[in-house]
Amino acid sequence: MKQDHKAPPRPDPESGTAGDDSISEEKSLGEKLQKVLAGAGFGSRRMMEEWIAKGQVSVNGETATLGMRVFEGDLVKAERRTMRVGEREHAARVLLYHKPEGEIVSRNDPGKRSSVFDKLPKLRGQKWIAVGRLDFNTSGLLIFTTSGELANRLMHPRFEVEREYAVRVQGKMTEAQMDMVLRKGVELEDGQVKFEKLEDQGGEGFNHWYRVMLKEGRNRVVRRTFDALGLPVSRLMRIRFGIINLPPRLKRGMTAELGEGEVGQVLEWVGIDSGKAELPQRKLPALRQSDRSPTKKPVRDSARATGRVRRAVPADAKKSKSGVKH
């Protein structure tokens, strides 16, 4: 007769014995529920806290509460999905998408506009988390992952992950303006902003191109900065996020999933132990060699491609056999 898989007794750190020395203090205290859910790809920690507060999460059949900790063997249910704490988790996945203009980075839109999530591969038991956002009229590199912890490391302001953009503006910056955005900064309604890098890329006629780099992701910060200088942005494209570049052969509306080796590099770079040290460290043109810390400036180097590129097509359509190559 098949026995039910029941969660083991929840340990009590106050009643430990000499035989409990092999159990680490961290394990004996459990892990925060929202951290476990985020790490399993259910969503960001903030989103998980909202789910818990609304009573949408249960642990071993009981409604979870904020601040609750879970232990190995606990059965967690959230949004019609179930996971058992401590079981082998799904490997983190990272997907690159070349977002065209005219799409929103949201699953719900009252205006029924086209969403980037409509173009992504379907998942079972996991969920794509967008690493930051791009405006409706902004194109370029958009990163998705199934790891809430990785998404948090890439987005949180304290990690100061670099974002690089190609910007076309109406007009041309003066030397004084270029010096101001690099040294003094430009005052916006939500605080001051400074560019870490600014390169004049030239232009023709009334339009002029610049390449800018900054370490924050405030809403429409690049557009608002140029608007404050009297230079309206006519085109904006993100070309790099951290150590990940927009692959040159990744056309608009196409996706490219990183292989296990590349994902391991990204995890290592943000300081997450991937547990995949034995995997070959081959690189995509999308990945840049860099120091391990995301707060240090990457080096402009890349190697041979190993990831697959495909067009964003319905699941029943044929997959593209083309690949990203250096």
Task: Provide the 3-class DSSP secondary structure of residue 190.
Answer: coil
202-248 pLDDT per residue, tens: 988 889 999 999 998 888 999 999 999 999 999 999 999 999 999 99
- Does 194 reside within a domain? no
Q: How many CB atoms lie within 10 A of CB 31?
A: 17
- The rounded distance, in Å, linking the Cα atoms of 9 and 256 is 44
- Does 15 reside within a domain? no
Phi-psi region of 206 (alpha: psi -120 to 50; beta: other; left: phi over 0): alpha
Per-residue pLDDT band for 17 (boundaries 50, 70, 90) equals very low
**Is the pLDDT score of 64 beyond 80?**
yes
Average pLDDT over residues 74-93: 77
Q: Looking at residue 43, what is its pLDDT?
A: 74
Q: What is the DSSP letter of 182?
A: I
Task: Provide the 3-class DSSP secondary structure of residue 32.
Answer: strand
* Active-site amino acid positions: 135
Q: Are 132 and 215 in contact (CB under 8 A)?
A: no
* Parallel/antiparallel/unpaired status of strands 139-145 and 233-241: parallel
28-37 pLDDT per residue, tens: 578 889 888 8
- Does 226 reside within a domain? no
| 260, two tokens | 């296990």
Q: Looking at residue 222, what is its pLDDT?
A: 96
**Is the pLDDT score of 289 beyond 70?**
no
- The rounded distance, in Å, linking the Cα atoms of 163 and 266 is 15
- Does 60 reside within a domain? yes
Average pLDDT over residues 58-62: 91
Q: Are 45 and 150 in contact (CB under 8 A)?
A: no
Question: What strands, in cross-sheet order, belong to the sheet with 57-59?
Answer: 62-63, 57-59, 75-78, 81-84
| 314, two tokens | 């319905």
Q: Looking at residue 294, what is its pLDDT?
A: 53
- The total number of structural domains in the chain stands at 1
Residue 45's domain spans which residues? 29-84
Per-residue pLDDT band for 251 (boundaries 50, 70, 90) equals very high
Q: What is the DSSP letter of 119?
A: G
- Does 267 reside within a domain? no
Q: Looking at residue 297, what is its pLDDT?
A: 38
| 109, two tokens | 């839109």
Percentage of the chain modeled with pLDDT above 90: 45
- The rounded distance, in Å, linking the Cα atoms of 114 and 106 is 9
DSSP H stretches of helix in the chain: 25-29, 33-39, 45-53, 148-155, 175-179, 221-228, 260-270
Q: Looking at residue 18, what is its pLDDT?
A: 42
Q: How many CB atoms lie within 10 A of CB 157?
A: 10
Task: Provide the 3-class DSSP secondary structure of residue 112.
Answer: coil
- Does 64 reside within a domain? yes
| 73, two tokens | 């063997």
Handedness of CA 144, 146, 150, 151 (dihedral sign): positive
Arithmetic mean of pLDDT over the chain:
78
85-135 pLDDT per residue, tens: 876 556 789 999 999 999 999 888 888 889 999 989 988 767 899 998 999
- The rounded distance, in Å, linking the Cα atoms of 74 and 148 is 20
Range picked from 36-45, 58-67, 167-176, 300-309 for highest mean pLDDT: 167-176
**Is the pLDDT score of 11 beyond 50?**
yes
- Does 313 reside within a domain? no
Buried-exposed string 105-131: b where 16+ CB fall within 10 A, e elsewhere: beeeeeeeeeebbebbeeeeebbbbbb
C-alpha distances (whole Å) from 293 to each of 6, 50, 160, 249, 311 are: 41, 30, 10, 28, 33
- Does 123 reside within a domain? no
Backbone angles phi, psi at 182, to 5 degrees: -90, -30
CATH number at residue 37: 3.10.290.10
Q: One-letter amino acid identity for 123?
A: L
Range picked from 122-126, 143-147, 155-159, 271-275 for highest mean pLDDT: 143-147
